[in-house]
Amino acid sequence: MSPATSLQQAYDRAAYPLTGHRARNLQVLKDALSEWEDHQDSDIYGSGPLIEDFQAKMATFLGKETAVFFPSGTMAQQIAMRIWSDQLGVKRVAYHPLCHLEIHEEDGLKKLHGIEAVLLADKERVITLEDVRSMKEEIACLLIELPQREIGGQLPDYEELVAISRYCRDKGIKIHLDGARLLEVLPYYQKTAAEVCALFDSVYLSFYKGIGGIAGAILAGDEAFTKESKVWKRRHGGDLISLYPYIVSADYYFEQRKDQFPKYCEDAKELARYYNECRFFATRPVEPVSNMFHVHVQMPKEKLEPLLLSVYEATGVALTHYLRDDHNGAGCYFEVSIGDRYAQVPKESLKQAFHILMNELI
């Protein structure tokens, strides 16, 4: 490969990229649409069998009374926080310091809704019951993210979740699940989605992350909650005339992949073992608790990138499409999320890729 070839370009050209399901191109939508007749009516402003049937199906899956489809999770979760804050008359919620609302939404919760955030726990671990009990501020809602993506997909023990849920309900605090990657954690907990969601008053699930649809999200809860969420969806400009491309792809890939996550999680454990055998490499967690984890490398990304490019060229196996500077400045890291692609990689090619990488690191 040319020295000017970027890691992203090399990853895209590789025969065997390791992460995700497939390339994000128009074929993703075309495959989903192939299941439908041309004369199928679309949804219109949130109404019609196409969207209503899917919402009912997801409400049942999540064990909630009703559910509403949103074009984005950012919209859905800010609205959930607004509803609970208005209901309890408290313009304050709590979540992890690396919560999506805190670091990826341009302060939207405060700017759009006037809601302040209390940051619980430190950046390196998940929220515990003791963090919640020690909170001095009054809050309307506690948001828990499962898994905690920005720290490698770590998870609290299920018993800890139950205790946090019980405490919040005893204190009149609403509890919301950022379940963008909910299906990814079910194998670890050995629970159904409905069992996990029973611990929460409201739940958000993404359809483009682990499920692999185009975009879109579901927000579920009791009937009063979802009825109010539809009003806020309109206020946010999310009630588009039609959302059927997102709904069709969400439904198609949900059905295709909802039972595959135990396999993805086992594949993640296998791949993590390969990384942990390499000098300078360490995964977080050491053994993944979902299908995702982070790989930390004690080497500057400028030095690691050409080594990775040589592995891609020699074997066709591509490990990652990016590298980021580690927070402490001592090295770099990247995220791994296992999907359909991993099973398509020949085992001998995978072993060869890590053999070459280990030799390059000597």
Residues 120-140 pLDDT 10s: 999 999 999 999 999 999 999
In CATH, which of 1.10.3720.10, 3.90.1150.10, 3.40.718.10, 3.40.50.300 is domain 7-24+260-361?
3.90.1150.10
The partner residues of 283 in beta bridges, in order of sequence, read 295
Take residue 65 and report the two structure tokens written for it.
């009374």
- Quick one: pLDDT band at residue 3, thresholds 50, 70, 90? very low
Is the peptide bond preceding residue 17 cis, with omega within 30 degrees of 0? no
Question: Residue 274: which of 231, 317, 314, 243 has the closest Cα?
Answer: 317
pLDDT for residue 329 is more than 90: no
What was the pLDDT predicted at 36?
A: 92
- Cα radius of gyration (the chain): 21
* Phi then psi dihedrals of residue 50, to 5 deg: -60, -50
Cα gap 71→9, rounded to integer Å = 29
- Quick one: pLDDT band at residue 362, thresholds 50, 70, 90? confident
The pLDDT > 70 percentage for the chain reads: 99
Residues 9-27 pLDDT 10s: 999 999 999 999 999 999 9
3-state secondary structure of 329: coil
3-state SS string for 253-288: HHHHHCCCHHHHHHHHHHHHHHHHCCCCEEEECCCC
What was the pLDDT predicted at 339?
A: 98
Residues 144-194 pLDDT 10s: 999 999 999 999 999 999 999 999 999 999 999 999 999 999 999 999 999
3-state secondary structure of 333: strand
Take residue 223 and report the two structure tokens written for it.
């009937």
Strands 141-145 and 92-95: what pairing? parallel
Q: What is the mean pLDDT of the chain?
A: 96
N- to C-terminal Cα separation, the chain: 22
pLDDT for residue 351 is more than 70: yes
Domain ranges of the chain: 7-24+260-361, 43-241
Cα gap 263→289, rounded to integer Å = 12
Residues 280-292 pLDDT 10s: 999 999 999 999 9
Give the angle subtended at the CA of 246 by the CAs of 213 and 83, to the nearest 5°: 105
Strand order in the sheet with 332-337: 281-284, 292-297, 332-337, 324-325
What was the pLDDT predicted at 328?
A: 76
Are residues 203 and 179 in contact, defined by beta-carbon separation less than 8 angstroms? yes
Strand order in the sheet with 217-221: 66-70, 217-221, 202-206, 174-178, 141-145, 92-95, 116-119
What was the pLDDT predicted at 119?
A: 98
Residues 190-226 pLDDT 10s: 999 999 999 999 999 999 999 999 999 999 999 999 9
CATH topology of domain 43-241: Aspartate Aminotransferase; domain 2 (3.40.640)
Give helix then strand counts, H and E, for the chain: 15, 13
Give the angle subtended at the CA of 306 by the CAs of 304 and 312, to the nearest 5°: 105
Are residues 283 and 178 in contact, defined by beta-carbon separation less than 8 angstroms? no
pLDDT for residue 32 is more than 70: yes
Say how many residues make up the chain: 362
pLDDT for residue 1 is more than 70: no
